[in-house]
Amino acid sequence: MYNEALNQKRKRGLFMKITSTFKHLEHTEALDQKIQAKSQKLKKYFEGNFEVQWTCFVRDDGAHCAEIKLLGPSFEYHASAHSDVLYKTLDLAINKIEKQVHKKKDKWKNRISKKHAPSVKDQQVSQSEWDEKYWEAKEEEHKAS
């Protein structure tokens, strides 16, 4: 039932807004496609709507820089990278932000699992404790009646 609802939600489509800004760089179709493809990698981490903002520019020393900002209703991530080659810079930036998101998701998973993890003793000990308490209570009920 839950999986069916999740699949229907995915079919309706999630809103991922991608914006890209270029400073001192020529905006090409190939560059735009590369940014779109890299941004699609982030969809697997989120179930809701979010926005990806890319800023690409060239520094005074000739190095290409890329900044990526990931914005959502309850989160904001930021990463930047620089390299001699623009496409390598995009790869570095997306890897950095994926690492941040993955780390945060792991923290939440561990936090939830530790919070709700049952403290189970040795199975034989816990079973015998339960049996003793149960039968003692039953014995007292029997004596009372």
| Six-digit token string for 21 | 């800004």
User: What does pLDDT average to over the chain?
Assistant: 81
Specify the pLDDT at position 44: 85
| Six-digit token string for 96 | 């950095």
Task: Give the tens place of pLDDT for each residue, 83-141.
Answer: 999 999 999 999 999 999 989 888 877 776 666 555 555 555 555 555 677 667 777 88
2: pLDDT confidence band, cut at 50, 70 and 90?
very low
Instruction: Give the position of tokens 């890329």.
Output: 66
CATH number of the 2-116 domain: 3.30.160.100
Instruction: Give the position of tokens 């800004």.
Output: 21
* pLDDT of residue 59 exceeding 80: yes
| Six-digit token string for 103 | 């780390």
What is d(CA 118, CA 108) in angstroms, rounded to the nearest whole number?
Answer: 18
Indicate the pairing of strand 64-71 with strand 16-23: unpaired
What is d(CA 32, CA 119) in angstroms, rounded to the nearest whole number?
Answer: 52
Task: Give the tens place of pLDDT for each residue, 62-75.
Answer: 999 999 999 988 88
List b or e across 17-29, with b for residues whose CB sees 16 or more CB atoms inside 10 angstroms.
ebebebeeeeeee
